[in-house]
Amino acid sequence: MICDICHETLLRPTVSTRRIGSLDVVSLFRYKNIAPFLLSKHTPRGYRLYRYFGRRHIAPFFEAFAEGLDEPALILAVDESVEHGYSHTALLAHWSRFENLRPLHGALRASNRVSYAGKSLQFRLENPRQFVYRGPKGIKAVLLDDIITTGTTLDEARSVLESQDVEVLFALTLADAREG
Looking at the predicted structure, is the pLDDT value of residue 113 above 80? no
Q: Which residues of 90-115 are buried (b: 16+ CB within 10 A; e: fewer)?
A: bbbbbbbebeebbbbbbbbebeeeee
Q: What would the mean pLDDT of 112-133 be, rounded to a whole number?
A: 80
Query: pLDDT grade, residue 85 (50/70/90)?
Result: low
Cβ–Cβ < 8 Å for 132, 161: no
Cβ–Cβ < 8 Å for 103, 78: no
Question: How many separate helices (H) and strands (E) can be counted in the chain?
Answer: 7, 8
pTM: 0.90
Higher-confidence position of 84 and 97: 97
Query: pLDDT grade, residue 71 (50/70/90)?
Result: very high
Looking at the predicted structure, is the pLDDT value of residue 2 above 80? no
Looking at the predicted structure, is the pLDDT value of residue 93 above 60? yes
Query: pLDDT grade, residue 137 (50/70/90)?
Result: very high
Query: pLDDT grade, residue 112 (50/70/90)?
Result: confident
